[in-house]
Amino acid sequence: MQRRERTRHLIELGGLVQKAGLVELTDDDRATLYGALLDLAGRARGDDAGDVLALWKRRGRRAFDTEAEVSEA
């Protein structure tokens, strides 16, 4: 059961990478994607980590809300 939940979680995370347009932007280059994610992780560990994470969360929520509105229309 845990393995299935973990697999689903990983698939959802991959879907977010796709939804954000990163696959197309990087021409599906996994080294570039990994480097970008490492850069993001470094920023999230920086001195202004709280501000960075709050900004990302606001942007993500807005994007999800916009997507929900579009799908309802």
Token pair for residue 69? 């509105």
* Predicted structure pTM score: 0.81
Q: Are 33 and 22 in contact (CB under 8 A)?
A: yes
Phi, psi dihedrals of residue 35, rounded to the nearest 5°: -60, -40
- Convert the pLDDT of each residue in 6-37 to its tens digit: 999 999 999 999 999 999 999 999 999 999 99
Arithmetic mean of pLDDT, 58-73: 93
Amino acid at 5: E
**DSSP state at residue 21:** T
Alpha carbons 69 and 73: distance in angstroms, whole number: 6
Residue 40 has pLDDT above 90, yes or no: yes
pLDDT at 48: 95
Mean pLDDT along residues 45-71? 95
